[in-house]
């Protein structure tokens, strides 16, 4: 997949806006890695203080539940993202890697 610099900036802006809309705030850091047949969107700094509290107090049980919520939300984010994306590129959600301990998520 070839994206122009303008399209890359637009993708980054769209993902940031979608996360901001969902979480009420944007991620601390976001970047996109481009590969021939996929793109990876890396979010850092989106775990809320309450989610961090749950993880600290309930460990893996909380992580499992939060992971399920984030997986569900990934599909909702995909719909919002595709709704804002201009025609020309065919993209779909493939997988979400979650790392709650380091607050890093790869979409």
Q: Running along the chain, 107 residues long, what does each successive block of 10 average in pLDDT? A: 83 86 83 89 91 95 94 83 71 84 90
pTM over 0.85: no
Domain that holds residue 70: 5-106
**Residue-level pLDDT at 99:** 92
Structure-token pair, residue 61 = 């049980």
Domain count within the chain:
1
**Residue-level pLDDT at 17:** 86
In angstroms, the CA 73 to CA 66 distance is 10
Structure-token pair, residue 55 = 């993880």
């Amino acid at each position: 997949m070839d994206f122009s610099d303008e399209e890359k900036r637009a993708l980054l802006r769209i993902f940031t806006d979608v996360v901001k809309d969902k979480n009420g705030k944007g991620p601390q850091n976001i970047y996109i890695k481009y590969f021939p047949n996929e793109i990876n969107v890396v979010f850092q700094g989106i775990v809320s203080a309450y989610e961090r509290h749950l993880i600290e107090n309930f460990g893996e049980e909380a992580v499992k539940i939060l992971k399920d919520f984030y997986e569900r939300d990934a599909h909702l984010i995909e719909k919002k993202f595709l709704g804002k994306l201009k025609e020309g590129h065919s993209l779909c959600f493939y997988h979400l890697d979650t790392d709650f301990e380091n607050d890093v998520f790869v979409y």
